[in-house]
Amino acid sequence: MPPNRSLSEYITLLTLLTKLLRRLVRHLRSQVPSFTQPFTSTAIGLLAGHVDGHTASMARIGFSVYGRPRQRKALIRERKENLPELARISGNVRWESGNCAEAELFGHLRSMRRILSESCPGEPDIIFVSLTLKLTEGTTGFGMSLGGKRMCQLCCQLADVLSKDISCPILDIYPC
């Protein structure tokens, strides 16, 4: 994602990318009978960091884990290597910690904070916002729904642990 953009620009880029990926998946499913759900992520996420009072900002996108069970386990293992905090969280959910798009995004958090801190004098106030959208299509009476998704119980725990560790708030901006 391009640096030093507003949150609205980052959300617009995420929205456009989500719509393009949905169209691509829909096209592949119609043309390739063997193309099924295990080959695609179900969610795409955005993590944007902004420095209060400055134009400095940056964002990253990430995807939920996808693939057959063996591939999924390998991706989750890689995420846990990049973000050891994943191994310390647990909850009553049907998936393993590290499965969500946020787990991939939060692996960039420390690096993003360091880069943003170095771009501004003094000790800048930095805030991170997270937005996750469903890549699976849904419809409403008004056309295609973007299908926002709140952070799951595991991701909320992870955000809390990391927020305290890096001394920056992480907000979930799930669309209402």
pLDDT given at position 137: 61
Mean pLDDT to the nearest integer, 42-55: 92
Domain boundaries, the chain: 7-172
Q: Which residue has the higher pLDDT, 176 or 42?
A: 42
Residue 139 has pLDDT above 80, yes or no: no
Could you tell me the pLDDT band of residue 140, with boundaries at 50, 70 and 90?
A: very low
Predicted confidence (pLDDT) per residue in 90-106, tens digit: 777 777 788 889 988 99
Angle between helices 153-166 and 109-118 (to 10 degrees): 30
Torsion of CA 117, 156, 13, 119, to 10 degrees: 0
CA–CA separation, 7 and 17 (whole Å): 15
| CA neighbours closer than 13 Å in the CB half-sphere of residue 153 | 8
Q: What is the pTM of this model?
A: 0.86
- 125 pLDDT band (50/70/90 cuts)? very high
